[in-house]
């Protein structure tokens, strides 16, 4: 099956300051995959994902969404397929109330009025926005504003859902909502890209990680492979979740990925397993 996102030799140079933010990036993402995008500040993550919604156009190279070259497409034309939750919600939200904000996207896509209302109610319930419904988005604090940004895209039900740093600066309750959102999107068959510094979040939800360093994708592999690659981790100044680090230190065979754990549950299962083997 054709990949839902295909990137071929993509370069991006910002005219201001002549900064090359992406260099020779090629990758494929299949329908239904959950992808983490990681890398240091300024490595090019946001620049990369903005190409998938047409907010940025390649300086060189090609980006295809569902087989279609994005070059001539406007953001509005891609919006039915791709939803982007901005890193900074202030760049995304513009309506006078949360309710209007949530209605705008599906109305714009021509979704029938009744269904728009249904989707808005679902989003309000899912994200717990009941008390914010009639407030101006700028009157609510940053973490909740970010949730409104997610809810806004959720009401559009895009095939590809892109989250840019959804948990940065979020408290535990909001982070849990982001987990639930990603899992729900996965169950609904969406393709999800999550740009994040939050390795715990990613280790629990993604199938594959794209690692960026200095404008290049330097690794494209499973979380277990990425976390166990010392050189990649050190050179990107990223740290695996603590439970993964512990398993990396304890494992006997440095070439085996089975002993690299991503969660406390996996660690418990592994230690039970080895206890049983010792008894035998
Ligand atoms: N609008 C812009 N004009 C000029 N340069 C920019 C612009 N946006 C980003 N850059 C530069 O491009 C490079 C990549 O930035 P980008 O925002 O894609 O990184 P990032 O990996 O998302 O970083 P962060 O983790 O801080 O969000 C950086 O050097 C940044 O300063
Ligand atoms: Mg960014």
Kindly list the distances between the CA atom of residue 74 and the CA atoms of 54, 127, 192, 206, 264, in Å, as whole numbers in the listed order: 6, 29, 21, 29, 44
> What's the confidence (pLDDT) of residue 279?
66
Residue 202 tokens read as: 């990613």
Q: How far is the CA of 267 from the centre of ligand 1 (A)?
A: 37
Protein residue whose Cα sits closest to atom 1 of ligand 1: 14
> What's the confidence (pLDDT) of residue 75?
92
Q: To which residue do tokens 């397993």 refer?
A: 273
Q: To which residue do tokens 């997610």 refer?
A: 150
What distance lies between CA 48 and its chain's CA centroid?
12
> What's the confidence (pLDDT) of residue 270?
85
* pTM of this structure: 0.94
Q: What is the mean pLDDT of each run of 10 residues along the chain (280 residues)?
A: 95 93 98 97 97 97 97 93 94 92 95 97 95 93 92 96 92 90 94 95 94 97 96 93 94 86 92 73
* Binding site membership of 253 for ligand 1 (Cβ less than 6 Å): no
Q: How far is the CA of 223 from the centre of ligand 2 (A)?
A: 20
> What's the confidence (pLDDT) of residue 274?
75
Protein residue whose Cα sits closest to atom 7 of ligand 1: 14
* Binding site membership of 46 for ligand 1 (Cβ less than 6 Å): yes
Kindly list the distances between the CA atom of residue 73 and the CA atoms of 22, 50, 63, 102, 132, in Å, as whole numbers in the listed order: 20, 13, 11, 24, 34
Residue 198 CB partners (closer than 8 Å, separation 6+):
167, 168, 175
Q: How far is the CA of 31 from the centre of ligand 1 (A)?
A: 27
Kindly list the distances between the CA atom of residue 57 and the CA atoms of 63, 112, 119, 263, in Å, as whole numbers in the listed order: 9, 32, 31, 38
Q: How far is the CA of 275 from the centre of ligand 2 (A)?
A: 44
* Nearest residue to 9 via CA among 236, 216, 239, 260: 216
174 sits in which H/E element = helix 172-187
Ion ligand 2: residues, Cβ under 5 Å: 45-46, 87
> What's the confidence (pLDDT) of residue 280?
61
Q: What ligand 1 atom has the least distance to the C-alpha of 87?
A: 27
> What's the confidence (pLDDT) of residue 251?
87
Domains of the chain from N-terminus onward: 1-81+158-173+185-223 (3.40.50.300), 90-157 (no CATH), 241-280 (no CATH)
3-class secondary-structure state, position 58? coil
Residue 261 CB partners (closer than 8 Å, separation 6+):
243, 244, 247, 267, 270
């Amino acid at each position: 099956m054709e990949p839902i996102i295909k990137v071929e030799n993509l370069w991006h140079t910002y005219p201001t300051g002549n900064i090359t933010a992406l260099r020779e990036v090629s990758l494929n993402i299949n329908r239904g995959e959950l992808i983490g995008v990681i890398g240091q500040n300024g490595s090019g993550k946001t620049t990369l994902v903005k190409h998938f919604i047409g907010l940025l156009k390649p300086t060189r190279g090609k980006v295809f969404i569902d087989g279609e070259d994005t070059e001539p497409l406007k953001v509005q034309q891609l919006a039915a397929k791709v939803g982007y939750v901005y890193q900074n919600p202030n760049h995304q939200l513009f309506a006078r109330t949360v309710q209007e904000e949530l209605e705008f996207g599906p109305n714009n896509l021509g979704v029938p009025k009744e269904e728009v209302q249904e989707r808005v109610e679902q989003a309000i319930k899912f994200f717990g926005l009941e008390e914010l419904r009639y407030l101006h988005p700028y009157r609510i604090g940053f973490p909740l504003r970010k949730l409104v940004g997610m809810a806004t895209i959720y009401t559009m039900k895009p095939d590809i859902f892109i989250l840019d740093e959804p948990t940065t600066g979020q408290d535990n309750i909001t982070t849990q909502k982001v987990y639930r959102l990603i899992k729900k999107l996965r169950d609904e068959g969406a393709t999800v890209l999550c740009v994040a510094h939050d390795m715990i979040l990613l280790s629990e939800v993604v199938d594959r990680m794209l690692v960026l360093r200095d404008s290049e994708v330097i690794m494209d592999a499973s979380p277990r492979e990425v976390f166990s690659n010392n050189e990649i981790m050190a050179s990107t100044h990223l740290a695996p979740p603590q439970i993964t680090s512990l398993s990396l230190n304890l494992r006997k065979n440095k070439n085996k990925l089975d002993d690299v754990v991503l969660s406390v549950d996996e660690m418990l299962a592994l230690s039970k397993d080895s206890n049983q083997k010792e008894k035998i």
